[in-house]
Structure 1
Amino acid sequence: MIKTALVWFKTDLRVEDNETLVKAISQSQEIIPVYCFDDSHFETTSFGFQKTGPFRAQFLLESLEDLDRNLRRLGSGLLLIKGKPEIEIPKIVQEYKIQKVFAKREVAYEEKQTEKLVQNELFKLRCELETCSTSTLYHAEDLPFSIKDIPDVFTNFRKKTEQDAIVRNPFQKPIRINSPKLPLLQWPTLKELGLKKTTIDARAAIHFKGGETEAFNRLQHYFYDTKCLSNYKETRNGMVGSDYSSKFSAWLAMGCISPRLIYSEVKKYEKEFGANDSTYWLIFELLWRDFFRFMFKKHQTKFFLYAGIKNEKANSQSVQEKLLSQWINGKTPSDFINANMIELKRTGFMSNRGRQNVASYFCNELNMDWRIGAAYFEQQLIDYDVCSNWGNWAYLAGVGNDPRGHRYFNIEKQAQEYDKYKVFRTLWLSNLKSEK
């Protein structure tokens, strides 16, 4: 038993089903929960977009406030630091004489690099870094294949995993956390993070609010208050309103709720209200999320390369500023693409159906470097998740995990099928004429 441990929160901003937190408590007399506003997360990328836009930054701040409240109820609290984690975390380690740091295990390249830098600095202080895998439905150790042997085709991965692996039970929330007295928080403003506050458009499909409390409220609403889960498969391709899909993505991306906890709630729901294709389909979508995360573990930097995980790339590597601006601002010749892009610009959200269409349009009609589109999504999306975003964009660009290669969407046909009566387009294009 060590005296003091540090729990480094990242995209696991919750107290329920948080193995990192549970392990730290079990191995130490007291813990110090820390969140670092990493400077690199608020930089401009090589593609010219912010890594974190104002919509997601606001959601992050709300999630941290909720985490702090939940920790304080258990006798602890959150310590906020800002800067480079490899500089700031060792300072806290020295100040509080910390012997071990616990953190969520990363899989994507930049996050792995930061983890390694922190580990190297902690080693100099004779402080160990222990990481836990907390982001997936299935634990990597329980998969029926090694990471290097995971099938690159989702269907093959899914069938074998469903057949041969089990989902672990969620970890219980701690009853009490022992922490030294922590200073009251000084919350940074969006301005201090280098961002302008942006008001979300009133037409937004859902008004996301960050935090574990809100994640549970959403689950209660979608499962039990409305029983929308029982119709999920039929409605999931909708585009207007809050309940055509679960909308769990933002809370999952920030780690305000875990996929395992959602899975356990689905199983409870099925016992009470019955299982059907829809209840299964939500789990199916969580498996897609796992798949991309394990793909990043397997292929590492390749998902950020122009050729992706393939050896050749067919379309152009160019950027045409005028076409890019038209796509971002919803000024293309396609009203369906425009409506989706305006929704993303004004709200930080877009439906799954919309995302596939605008990505296909970007890659196939505009014929531009797909990574520019992915980088814009990284800036805009409230529910940005590095593996899902870049994995899906590579998939649509024909350089990812799509066994059929280059996937082309007939935009007009899609618009007719999914927005037959133009309800979605009317909603988002209604005041376009009055704009400059």
Structure 2
Amino acid sequence: MDFKALKGKPVLGICYGLQLIAHQLGGEVKKAEKREYGRASIRLLNNTPLFQGLPSEFNVWMSHSDVVTKLPEGFERVAESSNSSNAAIQSSDGMVYGVQFHPEVSHTENGKKILANFIFNICKAQPSWSMDNYAEQAVEEIRREAGSRKALCAVSGGVDSTVAAVLTKKAIGDNLTCVFVNHGLLRKNEAEEVLRIYREELKLPNLIYIDAAERFLNKLKGVKDPEEKRKVIGREFAEIFEEVNSRYGPFELLVQGTLYPDVIESGESRAGAARIKTHHNVGGMPKGIRFKLIEPLRQLYKDEVRLLAEKLGIPPEITRRHPFPGPGLAARVIGEVTGKKLRICREASHIVEEELKKAGLYDKVWQAFAVVGDDKATGVKGDERSYGYIVTIRVVESEDGMTANWVKLPNELLEKIANRITNEVEEATWVTYAITHKPPSTIEPQ
């Protein structure tokens, strides 16, 4: 980074950004004696416009193994934690700031306020963005990019692809063809419900339904690696779109509901970014695919897409539905996707969702589902020994999916869920509960 070129302009370094500022301006960065991963408490030491209006001590989210041990000349520390004496720094001219924690994640208290202080108080920016403006701009951009060309939009029943389809419909009308592919990895009764909404309520243009369940499951036979499963699914989708193109096209454009977290986790947000997992929207498609991609939601987070969906009049059956991975239940079946494991995962997940809805908790959590792998355990059913699958329940709360906390469900509810799964799902003998945050884990197991 060329700080000379930025002289006189506000700069905020976050986590590694703080370390980069210190290193390039003459400070020192060393390996920490104790790494900081997760929740930490920071204490404010000096007045700074970055922390204006904040309490003197609050919790933040740390994720670092190096620390700044010596500040550059002309800098002072403005906050500390138990493991980071320089948890936040600022330059004497009030133009350069650095924080060792992550204000952008929901786990950090006052994170939005810190970013707002920097943007509006320090940078003097004027707020002009709104979801209404975004919708109008997205429609105009799609219309400009598409022109008179025909577009194909893959819709899944999720809020992301549905919003992308509705925006594109507004932009190009009947030049849009929507295709809903049932890859056999959907939730219970999902295909029927989604088709009804698409046909009767949203009236998506030129809707094509393809039942490709057997085709996908055959391709997934013997595939155990999660990355390879995602790529197999991505390639199969691409082949189906090519077939649709040959039969109903030609189409030059492919519309996808890619979100910003998908881009980040696939390592495509910037050069050299680490890949956490490949998303079928951004990493599973073959390099030679000949559609030009339109991704109107690529800069949005899930909570923003839901707001946009409500403004577009999309029914709550879709807007309030929990996020679902592109590879479907293949992301929740660990190891090879077999018919038996898929059925167990689908039925158990349905029970989890049903019980949360009965308890009035479904809309209060981010995601709730079941996971099944190859591990088995002994149980007793009908006074007989039963050797069946271990089902793991995952329930998390989050604002944007970038970070998440596991939810402490009431013991009575967990017991009810476990009893229903072991009684109603054949070959499920044990039920466990995942109690790991994101990070260090991801929300989905694969």
Q: TM-score when scaled to structure 1? A: 0.29
Q: TM-score when scaled to structure 2? A: 0.29
Structure (1 or 2) with the greater strand fraction: 2
Structure (1 or 2) with the greater helix fraction: 1
